[in-house]
């Protein structure tokens, strides 16, 4: 197999056993180089694209779209409105072909298998003109015995790819009804309400979503290889963890081995602990010819446990297994994993039934976001980009990501990074919200997919939950199109559809997890009560809240709900101008230009008007397009901060905040806090503060403010609360201090105050409250509180922002200060990329913030490009008092 450094992330996303679990007794020949592709000669598009019928070099892993881009046959799919012009690709059939040599030694082996780790999606596999297999699932590995059809010398492998839309649409249009799906095509290739995506095991988002484009990919999206063996093939090596605590880890090494013949064998398991100490155990076994599952129980005393970020070290053990028959080695494999216990605690209490993750006995407030796929074309994401994304997650004090169910299962490399960084993963199975078919073929196909994926990923300590789907149950119960569907088809068909979903999500997937990864809990749907009752309720299970944004309700309504665990909520924003300029021309720079509407997928482009609604309601009228972009980010950041801090302050009633969404699949407006180019939006900088281990949270409503000290520390601490009222021009009007005792793993109430008690005659439109938690002389938490919407405040028109560059050893530090209050300070370097330790903050008069700046650009270029913006710079004067 090619080395890790030469692989794209797409190749790393293999569904096969990772190279770390090497197969000593099998010969592996990669088949990833030398492929060609073409438009299938019988495709309807050959008349418009006759040159594409000729064989052209292609890439595996890859897709037709990226191959056409590489060969210059199409333009950048993300530029302006190119998306609309490229829909024909996903409606056509395509061929991939490879010539490869097979030597005589390979053919002397008893077994020769062709292994395709992922084909997207309906494919006919042909070797030397002999049809061998028809595939039907993007997420499965396909292993095909090929010894009988190979010959010494040159052989030919052909993969004929069918358009999933063209293949399924004629059948669907003849059905009496179509199951409710997600988003209708904006391009007319499928009739409204007649979506084929429900019926195929393919990444749903590639059919278009309300944050991403419609690119129905076709290709061999995972590696291909030839495996040959005679004595044995080691298929899987897993470390089960039936019990782990501080004193003892009861474990079992589970080995899946296909043996060529029966007989006695010897299994040796050894390990290296994080501190370098080593251990070993061994067991004699009897193999049968065919498939064998071997289990070797053992224990490790006083294990060095794996912890989520912020709670301890991310300790990882290295395990090695060797299976021998006499002096012959049948198979060896290596695994790294962390030892930990996972519990989804669901205690009954005064608020209903809880929903809390407990790791190694410690209840963890989950802080994070929802993760969507990293690109419309998965093979384009590099390991470096993946590392940047997960490092950004950790740097923003997050400890959990929910991997949303409408994409694809990520690579081993992704989960390896999550293990190393302590990012807990809530793992959805890949069902994105559409109503699923109830036939046995679909159910069986889905079951095999789930078994393969759970077995592939179960050694990652970062995975703390397997979840059946995203929004299938809540959609079935409450979405208008589902309600109309049930009326149209009648009670008998309604019951069949519902029974099918309950079988898949309530039983089949649950049993897959129970049988293959029983150490990790299963949850039927998000949001749900795990089929204890209705989904998306406040007093049981997890909750998705969309009345703010989708329902156009004011941001303050985030305070109306306090669920047990809020796994979705969000506000949109645009990416920064540097990212916008990668997909738009100067003529496109207005919120409702055709290109901006094409990249705004919410409400068919009307989402930009929704952005303006919230911007105008909170800040006023943007001066220009760049101001609109800036204000969209400020609105998103301040709104999500309000919601997240409300949830944290409500601990233990609420035990999780996962906002929608962390990342993007393409450049454009969305709910993300990190844009497609990896740039942090204002929300990501705010998250670093509102997800900090210690936070002081003032929540103001109806003229009253409640104050909480939130701590994720596992031990209590003593501190001082300092409260100041400051005039926006710089005069300190009052200051009080009092000692506070912060409880461990808790939200400690610090009091409730009326505006009059805080302000004491100070003018509310000209004053701000500053709360600081001081421990041993250091400010460990800081928060400002305003007494009204931003547009109602008398903000200084000239805050006097100033920047100085100061030296701090070998670091470049930018010191930003303000003479008067500066709200929403944003530091920007235009097209120069720079990583900042802080941004998107408010500055009190006379105070400064030091920001570490890391950039490939030199200091002179950074100084020249630097631009400081605050709220008053972006709002038309007539829109402020």
**Closest-CA residue to 691 (of 393, 464, 461, 427):** 393
Q: For the chain, which residues score pLDDT lower than 70? A: 1-25, 879-881
SS3 state of residue 90: helix
3-class secondary structure for 478-541?
A: HCHHHHHHHHHHHHHHHHHHHHHHHHHHHHHHHHHHHHHCCCCCEECCECCCCCCCCCCECCEC
E strands, 518-610, where? 522-523, 543-544, 566-568
- Cα–Cα distance for residue pair 590/99, rounded to 1 Å: 51
What's the pLDDT at 2? 30
Q: What is the pLDDT of residue 21?
A: 41
> For residue 270, how many other CB atoms are within 10 A of its CB?
16
Which phi and psi (to 5°) does residue 758 adopt? -80, -45
Q: How many other β-carbons are positioned within 10 Å of the β-carbon of residue 616?
A: 16
Domains of the chain: 26-225 (2.60.120.260), 231-337 (2.60.40.10), 363-582+643-690 (3.20.20.80), 696-788 (2.60.40.10), 792-881 (2.60.40.10)
DSSP assigned state of 176? S
Residue 869, classed as helix, strand or coil, is strand
Contacts of 735 (CB under 8 A, 6+ apart): 722, 723, 724, 725
Handedness of CA 479, 483, 486, 491 (dihedral sign): positive
What pLDDT score does 225 carry? 98
pLDDT of residue 808: 77
The per-residue pLDDT for 380 is: 95
Check residue 25 and give its pLDDT.
64
Q: What pLDDT score was predicted for residue 17?
A: 37
Is 182 in contact with 207 (CB distance < 8 Å)? yes
What single string gives the DSSP state of each residue in 382-442? -HHHHHHHHHHHHHTT--EEEE-TTS-PPPHHHHHHHHHHT-EEEEE-S--SSPPP-SHHH
Q: Is 49 exposed, middle or buried (0-12, 13-18, 19+ CB in 10 A)?
A: middle
Would you state the pLDDT for residue 10?
35
Q: Tokens in use for 211?
A: 């944050």
Provide the CA 527 distance to its chain's centre, in angstroms: 16
Helix (H, G, I), strand (E, B) or coil at 232: strand
pTM (two decimals): 0.96
Scan for tokens 């938690």, then name that residue. 773
């Amino acid at each position: 197999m090619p080395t890790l450094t030469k692989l794209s992330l797409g190749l790393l996303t293999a569904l096969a056993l990772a190279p770390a679990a090497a197969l000593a007794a099998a010969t592996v020949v990669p088949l990833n180089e030398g492929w060609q592709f073409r438009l299938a000669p019988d495709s309807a598009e050959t008349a418009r694209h006759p040159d594409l019928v000729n064989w052209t070099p292609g890439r595996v892993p890859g897709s037709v779209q990226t191959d056409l881009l590489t060969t210059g046959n199409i333009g950048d799919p993300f530029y302006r409105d190119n998306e609309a012009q490229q829909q024909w690709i996903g409606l056509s059939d395509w061929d991939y072909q490879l010539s490869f040599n097979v030597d005589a030694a390979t053919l002397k082996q008893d077994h020769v298998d062709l292994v395709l780790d992922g084909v997207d999606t309906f494919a006919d596999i042909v070797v030397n003109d002999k049809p061998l297999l028809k595939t039907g699932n993007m997420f499965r590995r396909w292993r095909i015995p090929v010894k009988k059809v190979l010959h010494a010398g040159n052989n030919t492998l052909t993969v004929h790819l069918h358009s999933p839309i063209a293949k399924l649409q004629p059948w669907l249009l003849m059905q009496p009804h179509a199951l409710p799906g997600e988003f209708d095509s904006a391009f007319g290739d499928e009739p409204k309400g007649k979506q084929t995506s429900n019926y195929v095991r393919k990444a749903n988002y590639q059919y278009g979503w309300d944050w991403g484009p419609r690119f129905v990919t076709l290709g061999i999206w995972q590696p291909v290889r030839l495996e040959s063996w005679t004595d044995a093939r080691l298929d899987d090596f897993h470390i089960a963890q039936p019990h782990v605590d501080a004193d003892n880890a009861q474990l079992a090494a589970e080995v899946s081995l296909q043996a060529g013949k029966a007989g006695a064998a010897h299994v040796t398991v050894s390990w290296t602990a994080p501190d370098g100490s080593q251990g070993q155990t061994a067991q004699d076994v009897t193999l049968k010819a065919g498939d064998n599952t071997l289990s070797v129980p053992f224990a490790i005393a006083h294990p060095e446990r794996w912890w989520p970020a912020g709670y301890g070290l991310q300790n990882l053990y290295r395990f090695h297994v060797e299976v021998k028959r006499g002096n012959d080695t049948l198979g060896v494999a290596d695994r790294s994993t962390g030892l930990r216990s996972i519990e989804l605690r669901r205690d009954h209490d005064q608020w209903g039934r809880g929903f809390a993750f407990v790791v190694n006995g410690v209840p963890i407030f989950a802080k994070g976001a929802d993760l969507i796929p990293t690109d419309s074309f998965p093979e384009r994401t590099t390991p470096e980009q993946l590392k940047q994304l997960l490092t950004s997650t950790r740097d923003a004090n997050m400890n959990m990501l929910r991997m949303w169910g409408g994409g694809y299962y990520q690579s081993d490399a992704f989960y390896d990074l999550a293990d190393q960084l302590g990012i807990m993963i809530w793992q959805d199975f890949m069902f994105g919200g559409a109503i699923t078919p109830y036939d046995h073929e679909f159910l069986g196909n889905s079951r095999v997919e789930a078994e393969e994926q759970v077995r592939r990923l179960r050694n990652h300590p970062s995975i703390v939950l397997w979840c059946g789907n995203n929004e299938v149950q809540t959609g079935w119960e409450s979405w208008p199109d589902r309600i109309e569907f049930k009326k149209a088809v009648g009670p008998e068909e309604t019951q069949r559809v519902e029974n099918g979903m309950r079988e898949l999500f309530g039983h089949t997937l649950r049993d897959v997890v129970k049988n293959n990864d029983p150490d990790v809990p299963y949850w039927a749907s998000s949001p749900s009560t795990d089929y204890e009752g209705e989904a998306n309720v406040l007093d049981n299970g997890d909750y998705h809240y969309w009345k703010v944004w989708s329902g156009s309700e004011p941001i303050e309504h985030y305070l109306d709900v306090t669920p047990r665990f809020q796994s979705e909520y969000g506000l949109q924003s645009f990416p920064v101008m540097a990212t916008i300029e990668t997909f738009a021309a100067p003529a496109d720079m207005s919120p409702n230009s055709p290109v901006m509407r094409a990249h705004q997928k919410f409400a068919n482009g009307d989402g930009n008007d929704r952005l303006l609604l919230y911007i105008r309601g909170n800040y006023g009228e943007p001066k220009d397009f760049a101001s609109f972009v800036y204000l969209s980010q400020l609105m998103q950041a301040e709104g999500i901060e309000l919601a997240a801090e409300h949830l944290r302050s409500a601990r233990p009633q609420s035990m999780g905040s996962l906002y929608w969404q962390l990342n993007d699949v393409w450049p454009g407006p969305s709910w993300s806090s990190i844009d497609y180019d990896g740039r942090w939006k204002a929300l990501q900088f705010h998250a670093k503060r509102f997800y900090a281990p210690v936070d002081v949270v003032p929540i103001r409503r109806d003229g009253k403010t409640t104050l909480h000290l939130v701590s994720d520390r596992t031990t209590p601490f003593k501190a001082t609360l300092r409260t100041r009222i400051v005039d926006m021009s710089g005069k300190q009007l009052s200051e009080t201090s009092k000692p506070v005792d912060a409880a461990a793993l808790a939200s400690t109430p610090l009091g409730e105050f009326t505006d009059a008690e805080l302000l004491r005659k100070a003018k509310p439109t000209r004053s701000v409250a500053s709360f600081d938690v001081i421990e041993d002389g250091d400010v460990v938490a800081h928060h400002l509180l305003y007494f009204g919407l931003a547009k109602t405040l008398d903000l200084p028109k000239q805050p006097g922002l100033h920047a100085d560059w100061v030296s701090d050893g070998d670091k470049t530090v930018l010191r930003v200060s303000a003479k008067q209050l500066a709200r929403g300070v944003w530091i920007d370097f235009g097209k120069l990329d720079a990583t900042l330790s802080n941004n998107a903050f408010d500055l009190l008069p006379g105070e400064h913030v030091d920001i570490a700046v890391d950039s490939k650009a030199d200091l002179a270029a950074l100084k020249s490009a630097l631009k400081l913006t605050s709220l008053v710079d972006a709002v038309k004067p007539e829109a402020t008092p």
